[in-house]
């Protein structure tokens, strides 16, 4: 897939994110790809030498929010149900409890707190779960980019 390609399936606008890890923990990569009218308009990616898949998914979501202006009306897509629920359902309650879950500490707290802060600063941005590897062109693109960054 090259910049400017027309997607075969799935949404043709929004920000698509993915995280990947070789081993868990192990080396990892992440990607966030902003698409408008079926064309890539911005993409960011990175890697970590020793990390987990969840940390890479959270990092990709942080990058997605950071690439959007605070007044953006946009949808961010993630194939991590855990991360989507973290932002959409659980983080506010954890914050009220001093950043603790009912059952103990919040994992990856520094990333969760940053992500929650960014989501709060982008009130018109929706975060939506998308099924992984279902043929959605831009989700697959983000996946390939994240995997390509595993080696650094």
pLDDT at 124 over 50: yes
Tokens of 85: 């629920």
One-letter-per-residue 3-state SS of 122-143: CCCEEEEECCCCCCCHHHHHHH
If one counts the domains in the chain, the total is 1
Do the domain assignments include residue 6? no
For residue 37, the domain's CATH number is: 3.30.420.10
Q: What is the mean pLDDT of the chain?
A: 92
Do the domain assignments include residue 74? yes
Do the domain assignments include residue 53? yes
d(CA 111, CA 57): 10
- Find the domain containing 113 and state its range: 14-148
Do the domain assignments include residue 132? yes
Work out the angle at residue 131's Cα, subtended by the Cα atoms of residues 127 and 133, and round it to the nearest 5 degrees: 130
**Coil, strand or helix: which one is 35?**
strand
Do the domain assignments include residue 100? yes
Do the domain assignments include residue 124? yes
Is residue 57 a contact partner of residue 86, using CB atoms and an 8 Å limit? no
Active-site residue list: 18-19, 57, 79, 133, 143
Per-residue confidence band for 11, with pLDDT thresholds at 50, 70 and 90: confident
Do the domain assignments include residue 8? no
Per-residue confidence band for 136, with pLDDT thresholds at 50, 70 and 90: confident
Q: What predicted TM-score, i.e. pTM, was given to this entire model? A: 0.92
Do the domain assignments include residue 101? yes
């Amino acid at each position: 897939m090259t910049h400017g390609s027309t997607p075969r399936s799935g949404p043709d606008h929004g920000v698509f994110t993915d995280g990947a890890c070789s081993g868990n923990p192990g080396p990892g990569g992440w990607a966030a790809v902003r698409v408008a009218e079926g064309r890539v308009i911005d993409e960011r990616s990175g890697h970590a030498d020793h990390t987990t898949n969840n940390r890479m998914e959270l990092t990709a979501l942080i990058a997605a929010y950071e690439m959007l202006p605070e007044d953006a009306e946009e949808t961010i897509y993630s194939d991590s149900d855990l991360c989507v629920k973290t932002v959409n359902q659980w983080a506010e309650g954890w914050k009220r409890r001093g950043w603790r879950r009912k059952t103990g500490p919040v994992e990856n707290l520094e990333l969760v707190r940053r992500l929650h802060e960014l989501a709060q600063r982008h009130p018109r941005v929706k975060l939506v779960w998308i099924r992984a590897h279902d043929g959605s062109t831009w989700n697959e693109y983000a996946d390939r980019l994240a995997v390509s960054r595993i080696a650094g």
